[in-house]
Amino acid sequence: MGAAGSKLEKALGDQFPEGERYFGLENFGNTCYCNSVLQVSILHPPNSIALYFCVPFREQLLEYYSSNKSAGDAEENLLTCLADLFTQISSQKKKTGVIAPKRFVQRLKKQNELFRSYMHQDAHEFLNFLLNELVDILEKEAQAAKSDQETTSPPEKMGNGPKNVQANGTHKDPLVTWVHKNFQNLIIFNGYSSQGILTNETRCLRCETVTARDEIFLDLSLDIEQNSSITSCLKNFSSTETLNAEDKFFCDKCCSLQEAQKRMKIKKPPHILVIHLKRFKYIEQLGRYKKLSYRVVFPLELKLSNTVEDAESEYSLFAVVVHVGSGPNHGHYVSLVKSHNHWLFFDDENVEMIDESAVQTFFGSAQEYSSNTDHGYILFYESLGTSNKS
């Protein structure tokens, strides 16, 4: 990416962020689904879901890499491979260029057979798998370290994070890793979450009893409609559904099946809101999945007022993963990332600066058949307030 890199450096000029690295990622044959997510992860504003540009996460990941490297016998996993990739980028002398994430991709394919073929893969499935895997690895390592410490330390001095549930069933605080702290909407442990909580409310229409069930969420997957907006999609997400006929709800108070109304709410909004637009829909008449090229407007500033129980939450868009192509089984992924108030366009090895107004060209197509096949697929929003931070 020599020429492209030089072009980017010239475009930014004196505004090139000090100490920053803007690198493209080599494609190993249909690995754009991986590159687009990693590039979103590599370039983000501080304190966001972004991995590399989430400064606390990056520092801890690089420290993790350094500790495991000195240990010499650390088992290779996706976390160590990701740490190795971040280290490669952060240690580059050049400001721009291309990195080959070969080790990471090899580990990914070894660990999950879904990604072993050269077929077109889903960037959303990869994102979910990656983040859940990082949390699982750190939880296992923390539990192992805690077990080792318990054999040599008095119970009152057990360190390495909050306590968990004991074997006798007595309550202990859930384990929180540094991934949890940086990915506040990705806290997944023992069925408990302190951030990014959805509440599933069901009201019995006979006795009016409301049953509420909380669950954490990795992201919000929204159904989409033609010529709609994220705001309208969120309203539909939280709309009331009536359960009747064969879908009646079993009410514990009535001790029988009853008609009920069901609604999903965001009880506690995350610091980072990840929105997945469900552009791939199974059409029974066709017997296959079809890509919905619908035009869905996603604003640069988003207000969550109709889905949150408490005060209104405001978010700012900082990254978009875009699917390019007319169908679900073929195509390409690219990403848009806002870094230091500049919007960058990432297409595997190529990185270039774009104007903020260009973001709207990825809303989708107003007509079913259009030459424009570049559509926003995964949106990343960061909270503008501090109420969600812990």
Catalytic residues: 32, 332
Please give the Cα distance from 175 to 139 (Å, whole number): 7
The secondary structure of the chain, three-state, reads: CHHHHHHHHHHHHHHCCCCCCEEEECCCCCCHHHHHHHHHHHCCCCCCCCCCCCHHHHHHHHHHHHHHHHHCCCCCCHHHHHHHHHHHHHCCCCCEEEECCHHHHHHHHHHCHHHCCCCCCCHHHHHHHHHHHHHHHHHHHHHHHHHHHHCCCCHHHCCCCCCCCCCCCCCCCCCCCHHHHHCCCCCCECCECCCCEEEEEEEECCCCCEEEEEEECCCEEECCCCCEEHHHHHHHHCCCEEECHHHCEEECCCCEEECEEEEEEEEECCCEEEEEECCEEEECCCCEEEECCECEECCCEEEECCCECCCCEEEEEEEEEEEECCCCCCCEEEEEEEECCEEEEEECCEEEEECHHHHHHHCCECCCCCCCCEEEEEEEEEECCCCCCC
> In this structure, are residues 330 and 32 in contact, taking their beta carbons and an 8 Å threshold?
no
What CA–CA distance (Å, rounded) separates 64 from 69? 8
Maximum CA extent, the chain: 71
Q: Residue 262 class from Cβ within 10 Å (0-12 exposed, 13-18 middle, 19+ buried)?
A: middle
